[in-house]
Amino acid sequence: MMEFKRLIPYREALRLLLDDLSELNEIEELPLSEALGRVLAEDIVSPIDSPPFDRSAVDGYALRAEDTFHAREYSPVELKVVDEIVAGEESKARVEPGTVVKLMTGSKMPVGANAVLMQEMAEREGDIIRVLRPVAPGQNVAFAGEDVKKGEIILRKGQVLRPQDLALLKSIGFRTVKVKRKPRVGIIVTGDELIEEFDEDALKAGKILESNSVMLKGLVRQYFGEPVFYGVLPDDEEAIRDAIDRAKNENDLVLVTGGSAFGDKDFAHRFVRLMFHGTTIKPGRPIGYGERVFIMSGYPVAVFAQFHLYVKHALAKLVGAKNYEVRVKATLTERISSQLGRREFVKVWYENGRARPIKKKGSGIISSLVESNGYIEIPEDSEGYLEGETVEVVLY
């Protein structure tokens, strides 16, 4: 079997593939209810102040703060209630010296008032309240534009839209939003040993239930793409060539699992003009890339690592996504060793600021992925990290 003559450094391989890709120009306009997780295609400028008027932040009494300065529990100040409103209504009364307007949280501040007294800080009899504590000007008032100001850029192009982003858009009058088209990602799974449905006899005879397709479909959807599955193919040279050619013509990226090494039946890499083939990552070093096609390992853990180290960055480049990874600092609970010259993808469980390495090893041990919620990258020039050392964890 042939071996890799040169393993290209991880960062060099990543640069090559990202330089090979261009951001997609196609834009879709979607209802806010359908835009979760999509990538914003333009900066968003607020057309209004939010809130659009000064409003009460509590249930209570709108008044002039200076009328309360001498109020004490043992010497309350008496003021007269001249109106009562609920949220969504506007008082027609003007707050003059010695008067108040009863209102609710969210109510528009009446003319003349500059503060709100919480209702718990007053005793009421009829249309008279006794103020038990003073309030300061502006106290318990949410001022116009306090949340968002008219003309302010509130979301930037490339933002991956979250529920709170959609809420902000709705609060300033947006019903739709422009987002980048999802890249189409063709998925081809290869291997004579693979079966798609449970068959006890076939498993006993040496077959393996295929799992890469469902994992890759989920990962592609998680990272901005639309998966297109071309099926599980045997190690047949013509069938694999035809599938790759078709997928290249119909998609923005293509992922092929199996056939990335140099065995007699590793055909996939033969049908793509590769920019690189073999990198310094572990697991998954046989990965190749060229012509918008990734030739990936057949082992699920290696495929998972290859996706996170390469493919998700390619998808982010296609849609112009920014800040699409969640990285946190953590204290390592035990030592991790690594070999110089390779970039290692180490699965961990992150919780309460601590990262526990997953001890299960092997590119086929899918349960090691299930038991982890993030990973650490150990660079090529490091021999690992010590127990108690601060590391950066990428969550997934």
For residue 396, give the 3-state DSSP assignment.
Answer: coil
Average pLDDT of the segment spanning 188-213: 95
In which band, very low, low, confident or very high, does the pLDDT at 4 lie, cut at 50, 70 and 90? low
pLDDT, tens digit, 9 for 90 and up, residues 279-317: 999 999 999 999 999 999 999 999 999 999 999 999 999
User: Mean pLDDT in the chain?
Assistant: 96
Q: Indicate if the pLDDT at residue 54 is higher than 70.
A: yes
For residue 109, give the 3-state DSSP assignment.
Answer: coil
Say if 386 falls within a structural domain. yes
Tracing tokens 């982890």 back to the chain, one arrives at: 372
Tracing tokens 């297109």 back to the chain, one arrives at: 228
Whether 174 and 37 map to the same domain: the answer is: yes
The Cα–Cα gap between 91 and 103 comes to 9
**pTM exceeding 0.75:** yes
In which band, very low, low, confident or very high, does the pLDDT at 6 lie, cut at 50, 70 and 90? confident
Q: Indicate if the pLDDT at residue 272 is higher than 50.
A: yes
> Which residues span the domain enclosing 36?
27-50+162-180
pLDDT, tens digit, 9 for 90 and up, residues 322-372: 999 999 999 999 999 999 999 999 999 999 999 999 999 999 999 999 999
Quote the radius of gyration of the chain (alpha carbons, Å).
Answer: 31
Sign of CA dihedral 345, 350, 354, 356: negative
Average pLDDT of the segment spanning 226-251: 97
Whether 35 and 175 map to the same domain: the answer is: yes
Distances (CA, A) of 86 to 89, 95, 175, 333: 6, 16, 27, 55
List of long-range contacts for 260-263, beta carbons under 8 Å, 24+ apart: 260/286, 260/287, 260/288, 260/295, 260/296, 260/297, 260/298, 261/1, 261/286, 262/1, 262/2, 262/3, 263/1
Average pLDDT of the segment spanning 80-89: 96
Average pLDDT of the segment spanning 35-61: 97
Whether 336 and 384 map to the same domain: the answer is: yes
With left for phi above 0 and alpha for psi between -120 and 50, is residue 47 left, alpha or beta? alpha
What is the total count of domains within the chain? 4
Among 319, 340, 363, where does a domain finish?
319
pLDDT, tens digit, 9 for 90 and up, residues 206-215: 999 999 999 9
The Cα–Cα gap between 261 and 133 comes to 78
